[in-house]
Structure 1
């Protein structure tokens, strides 16, 4: 049996931070406000006898459905299905709430590790770890970790990737 055997395909062990739920709810509220403003402008400024009068009630109904999904359903479901894990051999991620994407990045393939914090992530104390490789898939991201966890993960991965490179030379 080879010691280079591929890691088994399995769900990664860790969930994202629970603060990610608040971030996704905030994104849903902001999106709803944006779509609501666009629909309100349409309803207010398009004549009542306009070309498609049914849009005057269909568009607000669609914004309401969007709000229910984006604020009340999607954040909780995404938190249940998004997973990540870092082992001695690889970084695993499982993302997507409709289309599931399972990714494994061997530590030996890591070229760069970055930590980024968007404006909303900063408000919620979160950060994203980006693992860059030479593969055609490019960058793998572990979204919405607690900022201190993200910093520790990035530091650990960068050190281990450097050790693997040093051993290979």
Structure 2
């Protein structure tokens, strides 16, 4: 008899520090756009650009207020001895399940902004054409423990990860 697959959301949320991180990362992009529009306005003096600048500012504020919190509610992860299970996205949402027996590499990544916020991203590369399974916004210490745990589980799981 086939086992029934439970497609519930993964159990664990990412770090709460991901919310201010996602806000800061998005704010950097908006500041670049707004600065560019401001320079354009200053150089041309074309008054209708004020409307564009105001609309951009309103969109930026809405994006910064909604996106990080929404992503925090959606982004989840879970690992067991058999699988790595993730849910991600904020507009387009995706769930991925990767069997531990298919894991080829487990990596952590931290850019300068992640280091500032004490976060890391975990990338689990499998023998899947779909690409790696990624968990963004993990607390750095947790990401390190998960990397070790998954590497150990992969070593203990029979199979050739193909």
**1:140-155 maps to which residues of 2 (within 5 A)?**
140-155=133-148
133-142 or 61-70: bigger deviation: 61-70
Q: Report the CA distance between 1:88 and its aligned residue.
A: 1.9
Unaligned runs of at least 5 residues, structure 2: none
1:38 alignment counterpart: 36
Bigger Rg, which one? 1
Question: RMSD over aligned Cα, in angstroms?
Answer: 1.9
CA distance change for structure 1 residues 79 and 107 in 2, over 3 Å: closer, same or farther? same
Q: Report the CA distance between 1:85 and its aligned residue.
A: 0.6
CA distance change for structure 1 residues 133 and 107 in 2, over 3 Å: closer, same or farther? same
TM-score by length of 2: 0.91
2:18 alignment counterpart: 20
Q: Is the 8 A contact 1:32 1:66 kept in 2?
A: no
Aligned residues between the structures: 161
Per-residue CA deviations over 1:53-103 (Å, capped at 9, x if unaligned) read 63x133212321232133211111111111111112111111111111010
SS of match in other structure, 1:75: helix
Structure 1 position 79 matched with structure 2 position 79: no
Q: Is the 8 A contact 2:106 2:147 kept in 1?
A: yes
**1:74-113 maps to which residues of 2 (within 5 A)?**
74-113=67-106
Unaligned runs of at least 5 residues, structure 1: none
Partner Cα distance (1:36, 1:148) in 2 = 36
SS of match in other structure, 1:165: coil
Q: Report the CA distance between 1:145 and its aligned residue.
A: 0.5
